Structure 1
C-alpha cells in the first residue's frame, strides 16, 4: 500500500524531530560522560576496609576502632577495621600496597611503621614513601620519660650523669626492638652520649611493671598510659618528648627544657592508600577526615585518651613522614631487625 504525499511528509518530519531529539540527548550526556571518564574511581566505595598492622586490643587498634564509625559517617559509607598484625605494622602496610587504588582498602598507619621500620627492617618489602599514597593526618601523641622511684635522679641532667657513672647498668624497657619508645631511648643515647642499655619487651605494660618494680631504671611511654602511674606516685616523670609541654602533665618539663637541644619527637597516626590513587578520591577522603576531626565529640574522646587531633592535607602527612624518617635514621644506626 502506497503512502500519500502527506503521510510521507509526516513520516519525514517525525524522523527529523526524532533525530534532533537524539542529537540533543547525546550532546547533553557528553559532559557527564566526560566527567565520568576523567573521574573514574573517584567515588567512595560502599564498604571501606581500614587495615591496622597491629593486634586487636592494642593502642593502635583502639584508636582505629574509636575513629572508624565517625570516619564512615563522614565518608557516607561503612568502615570496618581489619587487623593484619606482624613486623611492627609492616605486614598491614604491605597488604595495602597490593590492594586496588579504589579507596576500598586504606591503611591506619602508625608512625613507627612509616618512619622507623624502613631504617631498621632488613626484610621490609615496600617503601612507605614510594608505595603508599598519603591521604590525611589523624592524630598525634607524646611520650614521657619515667624512672623508678628509687633511682637517685630528679631530672634528665642527673639521669645522664648517673648513666655515665654506671655505663651499661642503666636499663630501659620498650615494647620491642624498633618500637617508638625504644627509638626514643636510642635517640637520647645518640644526642647525649649516655650509655643506656635497652631491654625489649612484648608490650609497654610488662616493661612499665618492671620499672615500678626496680628491674628497669626507666622507660618512655605514651603520656595517656603513663599518667596513671605518675599521678599514683608509682614512677617519677622526668620529661616529655614534645617541643611543648603536654596538657596532661603540665608540670613536667620538655626534653629541650631539660638540656637536650632539638629533642622533639612524638608519635602519630595517618591514613594511607595504595599508590596511584585518583587525586579526586584522595581529596574526597581528606575532606571527609577533616570533617570527622572537626566534631567536638570525636576530639573530646581523643583528648580523653591523650591524643591530639591533627588535621591537614596529604602533603602535610608526607612531609612529617619524611622528616621523622630522617630523624630516626640517626637513632637507628646499628639497630636492625629481620
Structure 2
C-alpha cells in the first residue's frame, strides 16, 4: 500500500513537472530566422510579420538574422532545431526554389528537411535603370542593347538569386546580351545603379519604390502580369510589345517553415495563428503599401508552389553553379 502510494505521488510529481515545463515552453520566445541582413526587404517583411504573430501567439516572436551561403544558413539553423514550434524560418522563395538547383554544397533539401507551415505573401520586381541612361521603356532598352551588344550591365544580389535569373530570363527572351555583376545584396547593387557604375537591376518593388519616387533611378517595367498598385504608372514587361515578352510573369514569395517531424497538431495551430496574423488590418495595410500581395493559404499550398517553381527554375539554371 505504501509502495503504491509512493508510485502515485511520484507519477503526479512527474506529470506536474512535465505540465509546468510545457507551459513554460509555450511562453518561451519564438525564434524567426531570416537569411538576409537587417534592413533589407526580407528582414522588413519578417519584422512586420513577427509583431503580428506575437499578438496571435501571446508570446514574443524575435527575428534573428543569420546571413550567408545564399541565405541557407538560416534554413540550416531551422533544420537542426527541435520540432517544437519555437524555431521557424521566414524564407524567401529563391532559397527554397532556386538554391537547390544551383548550389553545389547545399547542406539540406528544402523538400525533405523542412515542414511547410504557411505562405505569407507574393512579390514582384521592378526593373530600374540609372536615370541618365537614354532609354525609358523596355522597347528602347532592347533596341539600345541590340545596337550595343555586350555594353549593358546589370546588378543582382548574387549569382543564382531571383533578380539575377529574372534579368537573365528577360535578356534571353528578348534576344539581347547583358553583363551580370553580382553583389552581396540588393542595397550595394542599387547604390551602383544610382552612381552609374552599372546600368540597371531588378529589385523588389517594396524597396525600389523609395528610390523611384525620389527620382534617384528610373523605373522601366514591373515583372508582374498586371500593373502594381504601388507603381500604377509603371508598365509591365508584357505591355512592352517586345517579341518574346508576351505573358512575362516572374515573381517570388515569402513563406514560413519549421523543422521536419513537427506534429500535425502543431502545424495546424501555427497555420491558424499565421493566417490570423495576416488578417490583422495593420499588417494587411502595411504590406499593401509596400507593394506586396498577401497570400493566405495552407501548408499544402506552400509546398505545391515550391515544388512547381523548383522544377521551373531547374530549366533556367542549367550550367549555373554556386559554391
Per the normalisation by structure 1, the TM-score is 0.82
- Equivalent residue, structure 1, for 2:9: none
1 CA distance for matches of 2:56 and 2:209? Answer: 32
- Determine if contact 1:245/1:253 at 8 Å carries over to the other structure: yes
The residue number in structure 2 matching 1:253 is 235
1:170-185 matches, cutoff 5 A? 170-185=152-167
Structure 2: where are the runs of 5+ without partners? 1-21
- 300-309 or 311-320, which deviates more: 300-309
Bigger CA drift: 291-300 or 215-224? 215-224
- Specify the alignment match of 1:266 in structure 2: 251
Encode CA deviations 1:95-123: one digit per residue, 9 max, x unaligned. 21122222121111111111111111101
Q: Structure 1 pair 127/72, CA: closer, same or farther in 2 (3 Å)?
A: same
Greater Rg over alpha carbons, structure? 1
1:284 aligns with 2:269: yes
Partner of 2:260: 275
Change (3 A) 1:90 1:150: same
Corresponding residue number in structure 2 for 1:115: 97
CA distance in structure 2 between the aligned counterparts of 1:44 and 1:197, rounded to whole angstroms: 51
Partner Cα separation in structure 2 for residue 320 and residue 283 of structure 1: 19
Partner SS for 1:256: helix
1:87 aligned residue (69, 86, 104): 69
Rounded Cα–Cα distance in structure 1 between residues aligned with 2:255 and 2:221: 26
Contact 1:44-1:75 within 8 A present in 2 as well: no
Query: Which residue number corresponds to residue 220 of structure 2?
Result: 238
Q: 1:250 to 1:291 in 2, by over 3 A?
A: same
Change (3 A) 1:59 1:154: closer
CA contact 2:41–2:206 (8 Å) conserved in 1 = no
Aligned partner of 1:75 among 57, 71, 75: 57
SS of residue matched to 2:305: helix
CA RMSD of aligned residues (A): 2.1
Offset at residue 231 of structure 1 (A): 2.6
1:46 aligns with 2:27: yes
Of residues 137, 140, 144 in structure 1, which corresponds to 2:126?
Answer: 144
Runs of 5+ in structure 1 lacking a partner?
Answer: 1-40
Q: 1:185 & 1:313 partners in 2: Cα distance?
A: 31
